[in-house]
Chain A
């Protein structure tokens, strides 16, 4: 059984080795090359794929919980969903969470993931008190913001290319409700969308859903969702039952027309310009997790997500061009998510920078990569970059232009022989 990543593309043969003990892991690393750790396979592309895969999920024990400070110590295969199931009822939530809770703590660190509060709380690494990392020679090193800082900065966002994260202490934030007060703002075009983001910079959580097929004067219209936790003491959090999409949709089901219909349905649901809702954690943060295997809608060939970020100064111009290019191509996507980000951190390969990021899903089909290469050019021309956690095809040249600290990262990989042991399809493609 070969492992795949979230996008179901590419489908390659690989061998997997199960990480369920420090001594076995040491041996796995000693005896193999072209290794890459694999968490819960929620990266879209080939970040967690290689000839030899270390499956980390079985390494999944809670080690301790300090309920005074809200610091939980877990092995790296523990899912964020498991942390929530255990600790939301006790009044704790993740300081930073991505749009799915079905990822491992190791994967969260390795992609230095971010969420709807990046403009306020930064990346996942902000909440990492420490982690232990196994290096290629089998040594275990403790890393934090004060200890072995070079390895800390390389590993947070380092896409599994610095070794295997074994366990980590994550600091949590206190909450007093499982509900979020959500405000939805409907905008008519990109200019209004930007204004709405800027006017709501002080709101804890914000994210916009963009209608990618809108053209002309409607280009960039969106639903901006803002939110913050309520304070009603209701903490009886339980995960909802999942709905299943039980088979792979035939590819033709996803033609422009159905995307259009979907977009309109979503857009038309909200009648007022500003509306308020009370929603729960899973609805607000993880809408896609309740549809297990929703991605099957993209059919057998798989899909990818294109996510880029542009610096604030160039965001408007760049986004306008990119949205136009996409609308003209007719290759729409259900999910186009726009977000305003806060300042970049010091980690060598973390994705976020101050500016706007857009993420869109595309079905893998003929002509797609050509379109994405066109978009790449606009992105780097405007000083932006591509998110590796979603990527499956970006070229070395485009990648390098976006990540000015890449040579530091490469030098560190050499220094510890990481480049000899740890490689993903992605790292080979973009030459990390």
Chain B
């Protein structure tokens, strides 16, 4: 058997990723808080693909638990895909540090803690891959979501450094930067159709990029160019804009 460990397995992207990997012959660890809520989904994966899906309790904010979480896995995963994230509310975060902290801890601190542990194991074994879902929001800070964006920027930098470190051990690190995705998280937002991906599309992109050994993935691909443009706007102008 060959397990892929999916962190933050309740999100729509995570579920699509889980199905995609199971369809392609992998077994799945689904890690999330109150993971028993994922039992029906695990059963679905098994019925669709005849692969095993196991639900595991994991709180990304409970740093102290991460080591034992990973040690308890009898069969170590072939790869880890971290989809955990928390968009939060920018307005609230500006006035309530608890909200800021939750955004930073969920999108960055907790993930660093967990991936550190996995990375050390992979490095020792000289095999494995690491996929981290960051965001285009981390490419440039904007007033509408810079707390979230800055946490994602930190994650992107972390993954880039990790890739550099693990290159010698032949371990792939893939940074994924989705743009808009039509999910529970974005329900009710009026997203532009051409720039918005379905979760299955993102999952396909992730699977293909991971299998091809890629380093950085924008999904949809057009976001790479959207961000090139956004990053090229001079700061004196950018600071006056509302985008």
Contact = CB atoms under 8 A, between A and B. Distances in A.
Contacts of B23: 85
A64 interface: yes
Given A1-B191, A1-B193, A85-B23, A62 B184 contact: no
Interface size class, chain B: 10 to 19
Nearest to B191: A1
17 contacts: A1-B182, A1-B191, A1-B192, A1-B193, A18-B187, A58-B12, A61-B40, A61-B41, A61-B44, A62-B43, A62-B44, A63-B43, A63-B47, A64-B47, A82-B48, A85-B48, A86-B47
Contact of A62 (B48, B182, B190, B196): B48
A86 B47 CA distance: 8
Contacts of B191: 1
A219 to B, nearest CB: 43
A105 to B, nearest CB: 14
A65 B184 contact: no
A65 B47 contact: yes
Secondary structure at the A interface, as helix, strand, loop or mixed, is mixed
A236 interface: no
Interface string B33-61: 00000001101100111000000000000
Interface in A52-88: 58, 61-65, 82, 85-86
B16 to A, nearest CB: 11
B47 A1 contact: no
B207 to A, nearest CB: 14
Interface of A: 1, 18, 20, 58, 61-65, 82, 85-86
B156 to A, nearest CB: 28
Nearest to A65: B47
**10 nearest CB pairs, A to B:** A62-B47, A61-B44, A86-B48, A62-B44, A65-B47, A18-B187, A1-B193, A62-B48, A61-B40, A1-B191
Given A1-B191, A85-B23, A20 B184 contact: yes
Given A1-B191, A1-B196, A61-B41, A18 B184 contact: yes
Contact of A1 (B12, B40, B41, B190): B190
Interface in B163-198: 182, 184, 187, 190-193, 196
B193 to A, nearest CB: 5
Contacts of B47: 62-65, 86
A166 to B, nearest CB: 13
Most buried by A among B43, B47, B49, B196: B47
A58 B186 CA distance: 14
Contact of B49 (A1, A58, A63, A86): A86
Nearest to B193: A1
Nearest to A72: B47
A228 to B, nearest CB: 28
Interface string B3-29: 000000000100000000001000000
A18 B196 CA distance: 17
Contacts of A20: 184
A1 B198 CA distance: 13
Contacts of A82: 48
Contacts of A63: 40, 43-44, 47
Contacts of B49: 86
Nearest to A75: B44
Contacts of B184: 18, 20
A20 B187 CA distance: 12
